[in-house]
Structure 1
Amino acid sequence: MPKFKIPYSTTFVELDIPEENFAGVLESKAHHYVPKFSETEIVEKALDNPIGSPSLEELVKGKKNMVIITSDHTRPVPSKITLPILLRRIRNANPDIDVTILIATGFHRATTHDEMIRKFGEEIVKNEKMVNHVCWDKDNMAYVGILPSGGELWLNKLAVETELLISEGFIEPHFFAGFSGGRKSILPGIAGEKTVLANHCSKFIASPFARTGILENNPIHKDMVYAAEKVGLAFILNVVIDAQKKIIHAVAGHPQKAHEEGCQFVKDLAVVEKVPADIVITSNGGYPLDQNIYQTVKGMTAAEASCKEGGVIIILSACNDGHGGESFYQYMANASSPKEVTEKVLQIPQDETIPDQWEFQILARILEKHTVFIVTDQCDKKMIENMHINHAYTIEEALEKAFQIKGKDASITVIPDGVSVIVK
């Protein structure tokens, strides 16, 4: 009987699949990739060999101030490793430079003090100047221009006005931007509300190019690259991580060239051939990406790509932080069906995009074709069901209900970490 360990919160849930039902498993090779060097050595080597760019040390020389953009509490960027290295190298080259660390919250809530300590370490939180980006704070936004899509580009003033702007992040498959990392630190990372909404409009989300692993012709990516160039993002450090959130690869240098090289590395590991099945079991990769229903939609898209129409998707996701977005929740909960959500959202013009629209648009698309179960013992059952999603406390309970829907001979595909694969 095939056995699997599925990420859930900060731990794993063990799963046994009956041999007669098992169709296949889809896993990124990143989870079995064994790097030749330690995490610290990988980062140092990337910074020693910048791609298409002068070194970080050269860039900071002569500068009075700089901003480092970093990821928020919803992203598993190993900043306890990367930030100390960046700060040491920066200050070795320019001891007097004034450094501000800007947390790219995008459209999320602010990262709390406790979350900062957990993510960055007490030393950095205590001694560094750290600022949460707040996309709704218009007084701290600067108008930079017009995006290729026609939307207005508003970015955090700290980033616009600094002498040197760099960012750190991680690269993984992304369900509508193609890949995370690179330019995403700018848009949506430190963009104003109006800009994020324009970039995430229903027309772009519906594009066949706005999918996992696709950058070419992706309208969302095109806007993001423009934003990064316009604000003068000078240098990036992006890492690739495995299932244990350990660094297995890093790229540094030119925001677009280094990012593209990192994306190719991820693509080589993450592309898997779909194994169509009646039931697909997956996860959102555990903490921190499975903190809410909003983020959980990402893992669902991998299952969607391998689930037969009318099939069942089971996703393990703690969702201990609730729905993750009031607009996201209300739009789903107040609709009579997912189809109603889809019909309404496609009528919304780009300049009238509403908060969280992209997330409920994708969720509705999935729910129209599949029955979805979220497995969690850390989230309000009623909240989940109000959003037209089924709830189960355990994987066994969800699987039993799935068999009731699809029959005892239903085929099952397992995707242990739904956010780590590109299903073709």
Structure 2
Amino acid sequence: MSDDEYELPLGTGTILVTLPDCEVDVAVPAGGEAVDPRAAAEAALDDPHGPPIESVVDADDQVCVVVTDVTRATPDEQLVDAMLDRIPADRDQVTIILGLGLHRPMTDAEIESGLGPYADLAQNHDPDSAVEVGTVDGVPVLVNPAVVEADTVLATGMVEPHQYAGFSGGAKTVVIGAGGEPIIRHTHGPEMLARSGVRLGRIDDNPFREFLDRAGDLAGPDFCLNVTHGPAGILGAAAGEPRSVVRDLAETAREALSVTVSGEYDAVVGGVPAPKDANLYQTSRAATYVLLGANNPVRSGGRVVLPARLPEGAGDGRGERRFYERLSAGESANAVFEEMREGYEPGAQRAFVLARAMRDHEVWITNSEHPEVATDCLLYAADSVADAVDPGSRVLVVPDALTTLLV
């Protein structure tokens, strides 16, 4: 790779991007040092936040483990194995729920790949089957029946930058991943998302995160084992009480993922590693992380350019379909934003947030198998990154736009 070439993820591989006649800076976070996921999990279980898992689970408990879905690169098999190795319950006492939220169900092959020998214990979450366990601020908290019926609820999770929760993980795996539409409607609605503390990288005084944690007090998990990651791979693990786990790993992530930028750029070229580049719903997170983060480096009228294959098009889940329907029916980003300020269906919030970002900026998708999906949704499409960036532009390349905090 020469000095004027930039390597970006594309699918499970990479591409080299050349930007002739452009002034280019590259935002690469320190990244931290990769750790072995299983060793990190064992160390976290040895020194948990709160009581150890061995004292949380009784020998006759029915145990429900909620895990992440295919949209997050969490080493779920290793985390589940590490937890189940330490509890007195037998295998026939354990049910695993795949925390889909409103994403599409996972295939048998994906379940096998993600959970290995535990795949036969797993079932896709059905949000329509969720059962109420109480209310928070008058909002019903509904979760999967297996969660309700369990004596003990465990969870895996990935603590990574999240547009609304600040960082994902903790109680979110259960109350959103295994939750029903009412809590998703409330937490992802325009009133919540408009509140000042709801933003990328913030957990203190974040109303979204606070609501999730309070819902988790009702629904679980009783104990979680989470990891965080960066460009180098898995950076660490933490176990125990959900709030403390998120806080612990968010500190690790911030240190590893923050990059200071100054000035304004004509374009930001952002990498979207798999599995987030599978569909436009997930890929669009990279644009909003750049434009609606702590420090938006793009000038008014500038653009974000995202190479992404999009083999699933807009996406196949309920939320993904609602995202596509809202944007593809809109006359402009501003029109979609103004209409959706009055309310929208759970899952459509990604259209609302993306439309908000696109009122002042262009978003381009390149190298895609489905460029028509991007243009249907008010974005722009080009064959290559170079085709989407004007010569002479000042450009910031962010090799992993989903795990880089621009500050």
TM-score category of the 2 structures, normalised to the smaller one: over 0.9
Distance 2:90 2:103 in 1: 33
How well do the aligned residues superpose, as a CA RMSD in angstroms? 1.8
Contact (CA 8 Å) 1:65, 1:164: kept in 2 or not?
yes
Which region of structure 1 is more displaced relative to structure 2, 79-88 or 98-107?
A: 79-88
Please say which of residues 411-420 and 81-90 is displaced more in the overlay.
81-90
Counterpart of 2:249 (choices 236, 239, 262) is 262
Distance 1:415 1:342, change over 3 A: same
Q: Does 1:156 align with 2:144?
A: yes
Query: Percent of aligned pairs with the same residue?
Result: 25
Aligned ranges 1:186-225 → 2 under 5 Å = 186-225=174-213
Looking at structure 2, the residues matched to 332 and 102 of structure 1 have their Cα atoms a distance apart, in angstroms, of: 31
Q: 1:268 to 1:251 in 2, by over 3 A?
A: same
Match of 1:12 in 2: 14
Q: CA deviation at 1:263?
A: 1.1
One-letter code aligned to 1:145: G
2:135 matched residue in structure 1: 146
The residue correspondences of 1:40-119 to structure 2 (distance < 5 A) are: 40-51=38-49, 53-90=50-87, 93-95=88-90, 98-119=93-114
Q: Separation in 1 of the partners of 2:158 and 2:255? A: 16
Gaps of 5+ in 2: none
Say if 2:175 and 2:219, in contact at 8 Å, map to a contact too. no
1:367 to 336, 340, 358: 358
Alignment of 1:335-414 (within 5 A): 335-348=330-343, 353-379=344-370, 381-399=371-389, 403=390, 408-414=391-397
- The letter of the residue matching 2:373 is M
TM-score, length-scaled by structure 1: 0.89
Structure 1, unaligned stretches of length 5 or more?
A: none
Question: Within 2, Cα distance between the matches of 1:292 and 1:308?
Answer: 27
Total equivalences in the alignment: 396
Structure-2 residue corresponding to 1:34: 33
Q: Counterparts of 1:323 and 1:259 in 2: how far apart (Å)?
A: 30
Of 310, 314, 321, the match for 2:301: 310
Aligned 8 A contact 1:63 1:164 in 2: no
Q: Kindly state the Cα deviation for residue 18 of structure 1 after the two structures are TM-superposed.
A: 4.4
For residue 85 of structure 2, give the secondary structure of its aligned residue in structure 1: helix
How far does residue 396 in structure 1 lie from its aligned partner after superposition?
2.5
Question: Which residue pairs with 2:161 in the alignment?
Answer: 173
Between 295-304 and 360-369, the greater mean CA deviation after superposition: 295-304
Distance across 1 between alignment mates of 2:312 and 2:22:
37
2:267–2:305 Cα contact (<8 Å) kept: yes
Shift of 1:97: 6.2
Report how far residue 132 of structure 1 moved: 0.9
Partner-residue secondary structure (3-state), 2:65 = strand
Distance 1:38 1:295 in 2: 27
Distance change >3 Å, CA 421–CA 208, structure 1 → 2: farther
Structure 2 distance, partners of 1:143, 1:420, is 34
